[in-house]
Structure 1
């Protein structure tokens, strides 16, 4: 059964529970694999550097460009090419802004720690980026969404590569998901009025 069909049968509570469990699983995998791969926890914590220019200007600026690109695609491509089966709508449309902030914080930290912090640090940008794209399984049957996800993954990996700061792709990922999640939420509200 396709993931979109499964989502239609799930309640909002079940969707959220699955999302949080998946993210917790990724974080646990990152910590366990990281425990074996890093010589010490201090090596891991060195990946996080407080550098406002890189985090907010480079990371935030990158997020703005990616969001604008996604909005242009949404305007000019047929809806069917960007349809993920309604999964993102189900995740975000009935959430408060505070809950969306919590969701995207958990998602950005868990995914970036695993894919950039652990996998890319030890195995390189290509395996980490390809694995990142493949965990977004709902996009595998939608070529445009899959290509966007692969490109985004490589871009996040490149940000991490050039800054050597895990907070940069975390903030970029967080900002993209926050803005797009809020757009989905407020679009539903607008359509109900």
Structure 2
């Protein structure tokens, strides 16, 4: 099944991949809107989850995001490459993007996913359920035990920070930092490999 998924990723054009990425985020945002209307008593109750004037956005969200990326970089050097094999999806999405586009993708994904999984689901049914759903939604990681464990641990960590701060901007910023820096890493690694082949 993992091979079928990897083959499917190879057959889809980059333009189609980006379309599916943005379309998936639009679906998550739509689900958030519908569930938000049903589950929250008022708009202000929901908006209270977003606190701009909070130093913890950078102190906790930023530091935690950097720590996760640093740990990932260390593990990438220690562990076999197969442990980080997601079927090539992240590679295809980020390898030829410019930095602004990588930042935009990271921002869209961070915002849409955190609003749904932390802001809506975790707020109403708890950390455990939201973390499991978050991991399952990242379907491609189900084929790789290490990535699946990784995404569950990460989801619990992000969820815990939301419990700690009660501020969605903290987890959105953390999520953004992780996706943005790993996207840059993939882009730079690809450019370096292409440079080696061109020499």
Q: Is 1:159 aligned to residue 187 of structure 2?
A: no
TM-score by length of 1: 0.98
Matching residue within 110, 123, 135 for 2:137: 135
Which stretches in structure 2 are left out of the alignment for 5+ residues?
A: none
In the other structure, the counterpart of 1:108 is: 110
Q: Is 1:182 aligned to residue 175 of structure 2?
A: no
Greater mean alpha carbon deviation, residues 45-54 or residues 131-140: 45-54
In the other structure, the counterpart of 2:78 is: 76
Partner secondary structure for residue 140 of structure 1: helix
In the other structure, the counterpart of 2:126 is: 124
* Structure 1 outlier segments of 4+, above 6 Å: none
Partner secondary structure for residue 47 of structure 1: coil
Partner secondary structure for residue 184 of structure 2: helix
* C-alpha deviation, 1:52, in angstroms: 4.1
CA distance in 2, matches of 1:66, 1:110: 20
In the other structure, the counterpart of 1:13 is: 15
* 8 Å contact kept, 1:4–1:138: no
In the other structure, the counterpart of 2:152 is: 150
CA distance in 2, matches of 1:43, 1:3: 41
Which stretches in structure 1 are left out of the alignment for 5+ residues?
A: none
Q: Is 1:30 aligned to residue 29 of structure 2?
A: no
CA distance in 1, matches of 2:134, 2:70: 22
Q: Is 1:3 aligned to residue 33 of structure 2?
A: no
CA distance in 2, matches of 1:45, 1:92: 32
